[in-house]
Amino acid sequence: LILLVFMFPFDISIDVDDIKRGIKEINITPFYYTQNSPSIIDMGINIFIFIIFGFLGYASFRIYHSRLLAIFITIFLGFCLATLIEFFQIFMVSRFSDITEIIIRVIVTLLGVIMAFINYKGVRKGIFSC
């Protein structure tokens, strides 16, 4: 579902020239903004979705795995998802891949994991119980 959210508008091209252009215009310099860089609204959507992804991912994996393994799995899946989103944007006419977005998505996923970790410890200690 998250992957589909980031594919909007769905304007995929299989034209070789469009794919070459998409590869050529990849921004591989972190935090270097160009005319194709994401807007503030796009960054806000990234932050919102990946904080939720980190929070729910940690909470889900913590049920079945140790604390450290749940953190590792969630961060790894967040990195894989962020990389996959940027890979598919090579094939989209109106989108451009940017390494900065991968970095921000992984950092925000970690923030969601930290929030879930703090919440989980609070529930375990009875802080949030009625």
Please write the tens of the pLDDT for every residue from 33-74. 666 666 777 788 888 888 999 999 998 888 888 888 988 999
130 pLDDT band, cuts 50/70/90, is: very low
pLDDT of residue 129: 47
At 91, list the tokens: 């094939």
Compute CA 103 distance to the chain's CA centroid, rounded to the nearest angstrom.
Answer: 8
DSSP class of residue 112? Answer: H
Q: How many CA atoms lie within 13 A of 82 on its CB side?
A: 27
pLDDT band at 1 (very low <50, low <70, confident <90, very high): confident
What pTM value is reported for the model? 0.71
* Cα–Cα dist 103/27, whole Å: 12
